[in-house]
Amino acid sequence: MIELEGLTKRFGSKIAVDHLSCQVRPGIVTGFLGPNGAGKSTTMRMMLDLDNPTSGTVRIDGKHYRELQEPLKYIGALLDAKAMHGGRSAYNNLLCLAQSNRIPSSRVDEVLDMVGLSAVAKKKSKGFSLGMGQRLGIASALLGDPEILMFDEPVNGLDPEGIHWIRNLMKALASEGRTIFVSSHLMSEMALTADHLIVIGQGKLLADTSMADFIQENSRSYARLRSPQQERLRDVLHQEGFTVVETAGGVLEIDGATTEELGELAARHQLVLHELSSQRASLEEAFMQMTAGSVEYHAHSERDPAAEPPVVGAGWGESWNKPEGTDRTDGKGA
Amino acid sequence: MASVPAVLTSEWTKIRSVSSTTWTLISAFAVTVVMGAALAALLNAQFDDLSEAEQATFDPTFVSFSGTILGQLAMVVFGVLVVGTEYSSGMIRTSLAAVPQRATFLLSKITVAGALALFVGLLTSFVSFFLGQAMLGDRGTDLGAENVLRAVVGGGLYMGLIAIFSMGVAAMLRSSMLSLGILMPFFFLVSQILAAVPGAKSVARYFPDQAGSKIMQVVPDAMNSDPAPYGPWAGLGIMVLWVLAAVLGGFLVLKNRDA
């Protein structure tokens, strides 16, 4: 269990992390999501006691990182892939880390084998590709066989094969009951791996929720209707109390209604339907909605697509217009 | 707390597994020995051309350490690289995640690297001495003579201390390039030039290299050098204070700054 309490980091006048309080629960994959520059890496560095917080604390099983006896046996972390001495062989890079935490050198061979680098163990790590560097970083995280693993944007810059490998590795590690904390700026990536989500934007907590709840709440589901008798259909729907949004091409979108209800309703009123389908907005859209107000580096355009609601019906998305910093915290995912 | 022997082992692995260790230490040894022997041979051949004052204070031990002025630069490079590459490679974050106790980490690193530098320094010093005396022939001295052993051991300590001083500076500046850019010209030029300028002399003699090198002299004010207001051991003591200050500064930077 990792607890963050009012964690704050200032760089001069700029706040990178702003009173962040949350918990990383044991035994599940927690996704740490936010746009670029949201403060994810800074938060992770503070968790490892590499950066000193301006205020607030991080506790790992109730202890500060600096109090841990042999920290690699508690937490393994991949921060950036190139955090190794390029003039040293992969094996020796891992060996010196292992020795400092009294991990037997046989474990070095084990983790090299695990990440598929045995063949290049004696090669200097400066010749490694990004993917190999990432694997070496993961090997160093696994060295102490830790209960908690932290990965900062592990799929960044990897080819599809590498992404697939990391995804499966995280799932395998989680299935062994380990705590996994993984950051990303890609919602789609998180949707595939995470059980729980912590979303931040401009250093502030935007959401702390289980993945299932997040999907439930944020993937807007609605029914899509098309009919040659559009006027009548709309009247009927209004009478029944549905909120109807008319979009281009005479398509009606109805929130919170099942296709069964609507089909039966149309039949009762003898209305012809040309289309009746249920739709879901993607999680990526929901994430962009959530962080729209806190994206630090917008693309240079007047109308920023990221800030524009992609497919939004009236009434939806209002919950995100609440003042910034409103915590959407619930404990249901525990 | 992290286990100190474990961290020492780890730092030893780091040092022995990079090629820069080998070439910097071999350079320190070779440059000091070869240049010392060459200058000893040269001075022996041209002894009659030396000024009277120089002849009167001729110090065969000190002459055999003439190579130190260049050889110490390789020791500076060794010291800087041991600490500096942690920063330039990004390894420092991995290292501190493994050993979060800053004092244990830095002192272990300096202990291992410093001990190695001292060992190579002593080896260099003894070889320089014997080879230099061989070149000087009849004008040479031997280890049994008064204060000679002190000067030879002191020469080794000097080399080791220069390396440790550089480690402290690199820990303060957190960059190999910056540290080398400051230390190399300082030891090779600035310190030497200031020590020869009348007005600056009185300050320059308290610089680490100027003060520390007094330990290598057997004859007081050897080779007509400036008389210093301190003896050989006090001079080395001044150097040790510089080294302690640099290491303390390095520790404070490591402790307080973000990695």
Q: What percent of chain B has pLDDT over 90?
A: 79
| Band of pLDDT at residue B125, cut at 50, 70 and 90 | very high
Q: Rounded distance, CA B13 to CA B160, Å?
A: 20
CB pairs under 8 A between A and B: 100
Residue of chain A nearest B97, judged by CA positions: A48
Query: Once rounded to an integer, what is the mean pLDDT over residues B101-127?
Result: 97
Judged against a pLDDT cut of 50, whether residue B162 lies above it is answered with: yes
Decide: A46 and A9 in contact? Cβ < 8 Å. yes
Q: What does the mean pLDDT of chain B come to?
A: 93
- Residue A172 burial class via C-beta count within 10 angstroms: exposed 0-12, middle 13-18, buried 19 and up: exposed
| Band of pLDDT at residue B87, cut at 50, 70 and 90 | very high
Of A92, A102, A276, whose CA–CA distance to B6 is shortest?
A102
- Given the DSSP bridges, would you call strands A221-226 and A29-33 parallel, antiparallel or unpaired? unpaired
CB atoms within 10 A of CB A270: 8
Query: Once rounded to an integer, what is the mean pLDDT over residues A54-80?
Result: 92
The interface predicted TM-score (ipTM) is 0.90
Comparing A228-232, B61-65, B251-255, which segment has the lowest mean pLDDT?
Answer: A228-232
Task: Provide the shortest C-alpha distance from residue B98 to chain A (in Å).
Answer: 6
Judged against a pLDDT cut of 70, whether residue A206 lies above it is answered with: yes
Written as one string, the DSSP assignment of B77-108 is HHHHHHHHHHHHHSHHHHHHHH---HHHHHHH
Q: Rounded distance, CA B168 to CA B111, Å?
A: 12
The letter for the amino acid at A294 is: S
- Given the DSSP bridges, would you call strands A148-152 and A179-184 parallel, antiparallel or unpaired? parallel
A 50-109 residues with CB < 8 A to B: 50-52, 65-66, 68-72, 75, 77, 79-80, 82-89, 92-93, 95-102
A-chain CB neighbours of B4 within 8 Å are none
Residue for token digits 């080819």? Answer: A159
CB contact under 8 A, A66 and B20: no
Query: Once rounded to an integer, what is the mean pLDDT over residues A145-173?
Result: 89
Judged against a pLDDT cut of 90, whether residue A217 lies above it is answered with: no
Give yes or no for A146 touching B (CB within 8 A).
no
Q: Which residues of B lie inside 8 Å of A (Cβ-Cβ)?
A: 1-3, 6-7, 9-11, 13-14, 17-20, 85-86, 89-91, 93-101, 256, 258-259
- Given the DSSP bridges, would you call strands A196-201 and A29-33 parallel, antiparallel or unpaired? parallel
Q: Rounded distance, CA A291 to CA A297, Å?
A: 12
Q: Choose the most confident range, by mean pLDDT, from A97-101, A256-260, B191-195.
A: A97-101
Q: What percent of chain B has pLDDT over 70?
A: 100
pLDDT at A328: 40
CB contact under 8 A, B89 and A50: no
* Three-state DSSP class for residue B231: coil
Q: Choose the most confident range, by mean pLDDT, from A25-39, A245-259, B118-132.
A: B118-132
Of A278, A84, A97, whose CA–CA distance to B99 is shortest?
A97
Query: Once rounded to an integer, what is the mean pLDDT over residues A8-17?
Result: 92
Comparing A287-296, A298-307, B66-75, B250-259, which segment has the lowest mean pLDDT?
Answer: A298-307
Judged against a pLDDT cut of 50, whether residue A306 lies above it is answered with: no
CB contact under 8 A, B1 and A69: yes
Decide: A226 and A198 in contact? Cβ < 8 Å. no
Judged against a pLDDT cut of 80, whether residue B75 lies above it is answered with: yes
Lookup: tokens for A215: 């999907």
Task: Provide the shortest C-alpha distance from residue A177 to chain B (in Å).
Answer: 23
Decide: A314 and A255 in contact? Cβ < 8 Å. no
Degrees (nearest 5) of the Cα angle B75, B78, B83?
135
B-chain CB neighbours of A140 within 8 Å are 94
The strand order across the sheet containing A75-78 reads A75-78, A148-152, A179-184, A29-33, A196-201, A204-210
- In angstroms, the first-to-last Cα distance of chain B is 20
The separation between CA B201 and the C-alpha centre of its own chain, rounded to angstroms, equals: 21
Residue of chain A nearest B105, judged by CA positions: A100
Task: Provide the shortest C-alpha distance from residue B247 to chain A (in Å).
Answer: 20
- pTM of the prediction? 0.83
Decide: B206 and B227 in contact? Cβ < 8 Å. no
* Three-state DSSP class for residue A184: strand
Judged against a pLDDT cut of 60, whether residue B71 lies above it is answered with: yes
Query: Residues near A279 by Cβ (< 8 Å), separated by ≥ 6?
Result: A221, A222, A223, A224, A253
Decide: B138 and B43 in contact? Cβ < 8 Å. no
Judged against a pLDDT cut of 80, whether residue A251 lies above it is answered with: yes
CB contact under 8 A, B98 and A77: no
A 194-223 residues with CB < 8 A to B: none
Residue among B20, B95, B258 minimizing CB distance to A52:
B258
Comparing A3-12, A104-113, A142-151, A321-330, which segment has the lowest mean pLDDT?
Answer: A321-330
| Band of pLDDT at residue A278, cut at 50, 70 and 90 | confident
B-chain CB neighbours of A72 within 8 Å are 97-98
CB contact under 8 A, A83 and B9: no
CB atoms within 10 A of CB B155: 27
Lookup: tokens for A163: 């992404």
Task: Provide the shortest C-alpha distance from residue B179 to chain A (in Å).
Answer: 19
Q: Rounded distance, CA A177 to CA A171, Å?
A: 10
- Of the residues B7, B17, B94, the best mutation for testing chain A's interface (the one with the most A CB atoms within 10 Å of its CB) is B94
B-chain CB neighbours of A100 within 8 Å are 2, 6-7, 9-10, 95, 98-99
Q: Rounded distance, CA B18 to CA A77, Å?
A: 24
Residue among B91, B95, B100 minimizing CB distance to A49:
B100
Give yes or no for A267 touching B (CB within 8 A).
no
Q: Please report how many Cα atoms fall inside a 13 Å half-sphere around the Cα of residue A281, on the Cβ side.
A: 23
| Band of pLDDT at residue A285, cut at 50, 70 and 90 | confident
Judged against a pLDDT cut of 80, whether residue A93 lies above it is answered with: yes
